[in-house]
Amino acid sequence: MREAQGSELMREYWDSVAISLPQKPKYSRFGRMVAPYWRLERRLVVESSLTPLIPASGEEKVLLLKTDLWNEGIDDSAGDIHDFLGDIRRFAEVVGIDVSPIICRSAGSRARDEELKVACADVRRLPFRSGTFDAVLDVSTLDHIPPDNIALVIGEYKRVLREGGTLTLIFDSDTFWWVSYLRNIFNRLRCQGVGEFQFWCKLSPYWVRRKLSEHGFTIRNEFPLGILSLSPLYLIASRSNLVGKLIRSPLCSSVKGAKFTKLSRYLFPLASQYMLVAKKREGGLKGSAGED
Protein backbone atom coordinates (compact mmCIF):
# COMPACT_ATOMS: atom_id res chain seq x y z
CA MET A 1 0.00 0.00 0.00
CA ARG A 2 2.79 2.42 0.95
CA GLU A 3 4.63 1.69 -2.32
CA ALA A 4 1.43 2.22 -4.33
CA GLN A 5 0.82 5.55 -2.60
CA GLY A 6 4.40 6.58 -3.34
CA SER A 7 3.97 5.71 -7.02
CA GLU A 8 0.76 7.74 -7.21
CA LEU A 9 2.45 10.72 -5.56
CA MET A 10 5.37 10.65 -8.00
CA ARG A 11 3.03 10.13 -10.95
CA GLU A 12 0.92 13.14 -9.97
CA TYR A 13 3.99 15.28 -9.39
CA TRP A 14 5.67 14.54 -12.74
CA ASP A 15 2.35 14.94 -14.54
CA SER A 16 2.06 18.39 -12.96
CA VAL A 17 5.61 19.26 -14.05
CA ALA A 18 4.86 18.20 -17.63
CA ILE A 19 1.64 20.26 -17.67
CA SER A 20 3.30 23.35 -16.18
CA LEU A 21 6.09 23.46 -18.75
CA PRO A 22 5.69 24.91 -22.24
CA GLN A 23 5.48 22.49 -25.15
CA LYS A 24 9.25 22.62 -25.24
CA PRO A 25 11.67 24.25 -22.76
CA LYS A 26 12.90 27.52 -24.21
CA TYR A 27 16.64 27.46 -24.76
CA SER A 28 18.67 30.64 -24.69
CA ARG A 29 21.21 31.45 -27.38
CA PHE A 30 23.87 30.12 -25.03
CA GLY A 31 21.83 26.96 -24.49
CA ARG A 32 21.53 26.37 -28.22
CA MET A 33 25.30 26.75 -28.54
CA VAL A 34 26.14 24.17 -25.86
CA ALA A 35 23.37 21.68 -26.70
CA PRO A 36 25.43 19.83 -29.36
CA TYR A 37 28.26 19.31 -26.84
CA TRP A 38 25.75 18.13 -24.23
CA ARG A 39 24.38 15.56 -26.68
CA LEU A 40 27.87 14.52 -27.77
CA GLU A 41 28.94 13.87 -24.18
CA ARG A 42 25.93 11.63 -23.59
CA ARG A 43 26.53 9.81 -26.86
CA LEU A 44 30.16 9.11 -26.02
CA VAL A 45 29.44 7.73 -22.55
CA VAL A 46 26.46 5.64 -23.65
CA GLU A 47 28.27 4.22 -26.67
CA SER A 48 31.27 3.30 -24.52
CA SER A 49 29.07 1.32 -22.14
CA LEU A 50 26.86 -0.45 -24.69
CA THR A 51 29.25 -1.19 -27.57
CA PRO A 52 30.70 -4.32 -25.87
CA LEU A 53 27.20 -5.85 -25.86
CA ILE A 54 26.76 -5.76 -29.63
CA PRO A 55 27.10 -9.26 -31.15
CA ALA A 56 30.03 -9.61 -33.54
CA SER A 57 27.66 -10.66 -36.32
CA GLY A 58 25.51 -7.57 -35.85
CA GLU A 59 22.45 -9.66 -36.70
CA GLU A 60 20.89 -9.70 -33.22
CA LYS A 61 19.71 -6.56 -31.45
CA VAL A 62 20.51 -5.58 -27.89
CA LEU A 63 17.36 -5.12 -25.79
CA LEU A 64 17.75 -1.89 -23.82
CA LEU A 65 15.60 -0.40 -21.06
CA LYS A 66 15.71 3.40 -20.69
CA THR A 67 14.37 4.31 -17.26
CA ASP A 68 12.73 7.67 -17.98
CA LEU A 69 11.39 9.58 -20.98
CA TRP A 70 12.08 13.18 -19.97
CA ASN A 71 14.29 13.84 -22.97
CA GLU A 72 12.02 12.00 -25.40
CA GLY A 73 8.81 13.58 -24.08
CA ILE A 74 9.81 17.04 -22.85
CA ASP A 75 13.38 18.19 -23.48
CA ASP A 76 14.61 16.59 -26.69
CA SER A 77 16.81 19.60 -27.44
CA ALA A 78 19.23 18.19 -24.87
CA GLY A 79 19.24 14.89 -26.74
CA ASP A 80 16.99 11.85 -26.83
CA ILE A 81 17.60 8.11 -27.03
CA HIS A 82 18.54 8.33 -30.72
CA ASP A 83 21.19 10.94 -29.92
CA PHE A 84 22.42 8.95 -26.91
CA LEU A 85 22.82 5.73 -28.90
CA GLY A 86 24.43 7.37 -31.92
CA ASP A 87 25.77 4.93 -34.48
CA ILE A 88 24.86 1.86 -32.41
CA ARG A 89 21.10 2.55 -32.42
CA ARG A 90 20.58 0.20 -35.35
CA PHE A 91 21.82 -2.61 -33.08
CA ALA A 92 19.43 -1.78 -30.22
CA GLU A 93 15.76 -2.32 -29.51
CA VAL A 94 14.69 0.21 -26.88
CA VAL A 95 11.91 0.12 -24.30
CA GLY A 96 11.44 3.49 -22.60
CA ILE A 97 9.44 3.91 -19.40
CA ASP A 98 8.26 6.82 -17.29
CA VAL A 99 6.10 7.14 -14.19
CA SER A 100 4.12 9.98 -15.81
CA PRO A 101 1.40 9.01 -18.32
CA ILE A 102 1.55 12.52 -19.79
CA ILE A 103 5.29 12.27 -20.46
CA CYS A 104 4.79 8.78 -21.91
CA ARG A 105 2.12 10.03 -24.33
CA SER A 106 4.32 12.94 -25.38
CA ALA A 107 7.31 10.64 -25.93
CA GLY A 108 5.19 8.23 -27.96
CA SER A 109 3.88 10.99 -30.19
CA ARG A 110 7.37 12.38 -30.79
CA ALA A 111 9.10 9.05 -31.43
CA ARG A 112 11.03 9.19 -34.69
CA ASP A 113 10.29 5.58 -35.56
CA GLU A 114 9.10 2.32 -34.07
CA GLU A 115 12.46 1.56 -32.44
CA LEU A 116 11.28 3.18 -29.18
CA LYS A 117 8.56 1.26 -27.37
CA VAL A 118 6.92 3.32 -24.61
CA ALA A 119 5.45 2.00 -21.36
CA CYS A 120 4.19 3.72 -18.20
CA ALA A 121 5.94 2.21 -15.17
CA ASP A 122 7.59 2.93 -11.83
CA VAL A 123 11.26 1.92 -11.59
CA ARG A 124 10.63 0.68 -8.05
CA ARG A 125 8.43 -2.11 -9.42
CA LEU A 126 9.22 -2.82 -13.04
CA PRO A 127 6.54 -4.72 -15.02
CA PHE A 128 9.02 -6.99 -16.79
CA ARG A 129 10.08 -10.58 -16.31
CA SER A 130 13.43 -11.35 -14.70
CA GLY A 131 16.32 -11.43 -17.15
CA THR A 132 14.47 -9.53 -19.89
CA PHE A 133 17.05 -6.89 -20.85
CA ASP A 134 20.63 -6.91 -22.06
CA ALA A 135 21.18 -3.40 -20.72
CA VAL A 136 19.56 -0.75 -18.52
CA LEU A 137 20.28 2.94 -19.16
CA ASP A 138 19.50 5.30 -16.27
CA VAL A 139 20.21 8.92 -17.26
CA SER A 140 19.47 10.78 -14.01
CA THR A 141 16.53 8.67 -12.85
CA LEU A 142 18.16 7.31 -9.70
CA ASP A 143 18.77 10.80 -8.30
CA HIS A 144 15.05 11.63 -8.68
CA ILE A 145 13.96 8.76 -6.44
CA PRO A 146 13.36 9.13 -2.66
CA PRO A 147 16.70 8.15 -1.07
CA ASP A 148 15.20 5.33 0.99
CA ASN A 149 13.97 3.70 -2.26
CA ILE A 150 17.26 3.72 -4.16
CA ALA A 151 18.38 0.26 -3.02
CA LEU A 152 14.98 -1.07 -4.13
CA VAL A 153 15.48 0.44 -7.59
CA ILE A 154 18.96 -1.04 -7.95
CA GLY A 155 17.49 -4.42 -6.99
CA GLU A 156 14.87 -4.06 -9.72
CA TYR A 157 17.48 -3.12 -12.30
CA LYS A 158 19.40 -6.26 -11.40
CA ARG A 159 16.29 -8.43 -11.56
CA VAL A 160 15.30 -7.41 -15.10
CA LEU A 161 18.86 -7.70 -16.44
CA ARG A 162 20.07 -10.97 -17.87
CA GLU A 163 23.23 -12.45 -16.34
CA GLY A 164 26.19 -10.49 -17.63
CA GLY A 165 23.92 -7.57 -18.55
CA THR A 166 25.10 -3.96 -18.29
CA LEU A 167 23.71 -1.20 -16.06
CA THR A 168 24.73 2.37 -16.92
CA LEU A 169 24.00 5.00 -14.27
CA ILE A 170 24.42 8.76 -14.71
CA PHE A 171 23.53 10.70 -11.57
CA ASP A 172 24.06 14.05 -9.87
CA SER A 173 27.08 13.75 -7.62
CA ASP A 174 28.11 15.43 -4.37
CA THR A 175 31.80 15.16 -5.29
CA PHE A 176 32.29 18.94 -5.29
CA TRP A 177 29.66 20.75 -3.23
CA TRP A 178 30.49 24.13 -4.73
CA VAL A 179 30.03 22.96 -8.32
CA SER A 180 26.29 22.68 -7.71
CA TYR A 181 26.10 26.49 -7.55
CA LEU A 182 27.94 26.80 -10.86
CA ARG A 183 25.67 24.18 -12.37
CA ASN A 184 22.56 26.10 -11.27
CA ILE A 185 23.91 29.22 -12.98
CA PHE A 186 24.79 27.18 -16.07
CA ASN A 187 21.29 25.68 -16.26
CA ARG A 188 19.59 29.06 -15.83
CA LEU A 189 21.69 30.50 -18.64
CA ARG A 190 21.07 27.42 -20.79
CA CYS A 191 17.33 26.98 -20.49
CA GLN A 192 14.40 29.03 -19.20
CA GLY A 193 11.38 27.60 -17.43
CA VAL A 194 12.98 24.49 -15.90
CA GLY A 195 13.79 24.92 -12.21
CA GLU A 196 14.59 22.63 -9.32
CA PHE A 197 12.50 19.50 -8.86
CA GLN A 198 11.14 17.59 -5.94
CA PHE A 199 12.31 13.99 -5.52
CA TRP A 200 15.85 15.07 -6.29
CA CYS A 201 19.06 14.33 -4.43
CA LYS A 202 22.80 14.32 -5.04
CA LEU A 203 24.42 10.93 -4.55
CA SER A 204 27.88 9.89 -3.41
CA PRO A 205 29.68 7.77 -6.03
CA TYR A 206 31.17 5.74 -3.19
CA TRP A 207 27.71 5.02 -1.74
CA VAL A 208 26.21 4.07 -5.13
CA ARG A 209 29.23 1.89 -5.90
CA ARG A 210 28.80 0.08 -2.59
CA LYS A 211 25.07 -0.50 -3.20
CA LEU A 212 25.81 -1.92 -6.64
CA SER A 213 28.34 -4.32 -5.16
CA GLU A 214 25.87 -5.41 -2.47
CA HIS A 215 23.30 -6.19 -5.17
CA GLY A 216 25.65 -8.36 -7.21
CA PHE A 217 27.17 -5.93 -9.71
CA THR A 218 30.80 -5.59 -10.76
CA ILE A 219 31.98 -2.07 -11.71
CA ARG A 220 33.36 -2.03 -15.27
CA ASN A 221 34.01 1.68 -15.71
CA GLU A 222 33.42 5.02 -14.01
CA PHE A 223 34.23 8.67 -14.53
CA PRO A 224 32.92 12.16 -13.69
CA LEU A 225 30.85 14.25 -16.07
CA GLY A 226 30.53 18.00 -16.02
CA ILE A 227 29.95 21.31 -17.70
CA LEU A 228 33.38 21.32 -19.36
CA SER A 229 33.84 17.59 -19.96
CA LEU A 230 34.55 18.03 -23.66
CA SER A 231 36.62 21.21 -23.46
CA PRO A 232 40.22 21.08 -24.74
CA LEU A 233 41.36 22.41 -21.34
CA TYR A 234 39.80 19.46 -19.54
CA LEU A 235 41.01 16.87 -22.04
CA ILE A 236 44.59 18.10 -21.61
CA ALA A 237 44.49 18.73 -17.87
CA SER A 238 42.84 15.43 -17.02
CA ARG A 239 45.93 13.68 -18.37
CA SER A 240 48.44 15.97 -16.66
CA ASN A 241 50.32 14.55 -13.67
CA LEU A 242 51.56 18.05 -12.82
CA VAL A 243 48.03 19.42 -12.55
CA GLY A 244 47.06 16.44 -10.43
CA LYS A 245 49.90 17.14 -8.01
CA LEU A 246 49.17 20.85 -7.81
CA ILE A 247 45.51 20.45 -6.86
CA ARG A 248 45.52 17.12 -4.99
CA SER A 249 46.53 18.37 -1.54
CA PRO A 250 44.52 21.61 -1.23
CA LEU A 251 41.34 20.12 -2.65
CA CYS A 252 41.44 16.63 -1.21
CA SER A 253 38.99 17.57 1.54
CA SER A 254 36.44 18.70 -1.06
CA VAL A 255 36.09 15.32 -2.70
CA LYS A 256 33.65 12.68 -1.50
CA GLY A 257 33.41 9.15 -2.75
CA ALA A 258 36.17 9.28 -5.34
CA LYS A 259 37.63 5.87 -6.06
CA PHE A 260 40.60 7.47 -7.79
CA THR A 261 42.35 10.47 -6.27
CA LYS A 262 43.44 12.19 -9.45
CA LEU A 263 41.42 15.29 -8.73
CA SER A 264 42.00 16.92 -12.09
CA ARG A 265 39.43 14.46 -13.43
CA TYR A 266 36.84 16.11 -11.19
CA LEU A 267 37.97 19.72 -11.14
CA PHE A 268 38.42 20.57 -14.79
CA PRO A 269 35.13 19.26 -16.13
CA LEU A 270 33.43 21.05 -13.19
CA ALA A 271 32.05 17.61 -12.45
CA SER A 272 28.51 17.74 -11.10
CA GLN A 273 27.53 14.29 -12.37
CA TYR A 274 29.06 10.84 -12.25
CA MET A 275 28.79 7.77 -14.48
CA LEU A 276 29.06 4.18 -13.33
CA VAL A 277 28.94 1.21 -15.69
CA ALA A 278 28.32 -2.09 -13.93
CA LYS A 279 27.94 -5.71 -15.01
CA LYS A 280 25.48 -8.08 -13.37
CA ARG A 281 27.41 -10.93 -11.82
CA GLU A 282 26.29 -14.47 -12.51
CA GLY A 283 24.52 -16.46 -9.83
CA GLY A 284 23.41 -13.46 -7.71
CA LEU A 285 20.27 -13.19 -5.61
CA LYS A 286 17.07 -12.40 -7.49
CA GLY A 287 14.98 -9.34 -6.76
CA SER A 288 11.65 -9.85 -5.06
CA ALA A 289 9.45 -7.38 -6.95
CA GLY A 290 7.89 -7.48 -10.40
CA GLU A 291 7.02 -10.51 -12.49
CA ASP A 292 9.04 -13.72 -12.64
3-class DSSP state of 113: coil
Residue 54 lies in a domain: yes
Closest alpha carbon to 156 in 182, 176, 128: 128
Query: Residue 222: what pLDDT?
Result: 83
Amino acid at 206: Y
Query: Residue 253: what pLDDT?
Result: 40
Maximum pairwise Cα distance, the chain:
56
158 in Cβ contact with 147 (< 8 Å): no
Q: At what angle do helices 2-20 and 101-110 cross, to 10 degrees?
A: 50
pLDDT along the chain (292 residues), means of 10: 60 74 61 67 78 74 92 72 78 92 86 77 95 94 88 97 95 69 57 53 88 95 69 48 47 41 49 86 57 46
DSSP states along 212-244: HHHTTEEEEEEEEEETTTTSHHHHHHTT-HHHH
Residue 33 lies in a domain: yes
Q: How many domains does the chain have?
A: 1
DSSP states along 138-161: EES-GGGS-GGGHHHHHHHHHHHE
Residue 74 lies in a domain: yes
Closest alpha carbon to 289 in 123, 64, 139: 123
Closest alpha carbon to 278 in 204, 206, 213: 213
- CATH number of the domain that 73 lies in? 3.40.50.150
Query: Residue 260: what pLDDT?
Result: 42
Residue 246 lies in a domain: no
Domain that includes residue 10, residue range = 2-226+272-280
Query: Residue 35: what pLDDT?
Result: 67
Query: Residue 109: what pLDDT?
Result: 81
Residue 260 lies in a domain: no
Query: Residue 150: what pLDDT?
Result: 92
Residue 244 lies in a domain: no
Query: Residue 129: what pLDDT?
Result: 97
Query: Residue 224: what pLDDT?
Result: 77
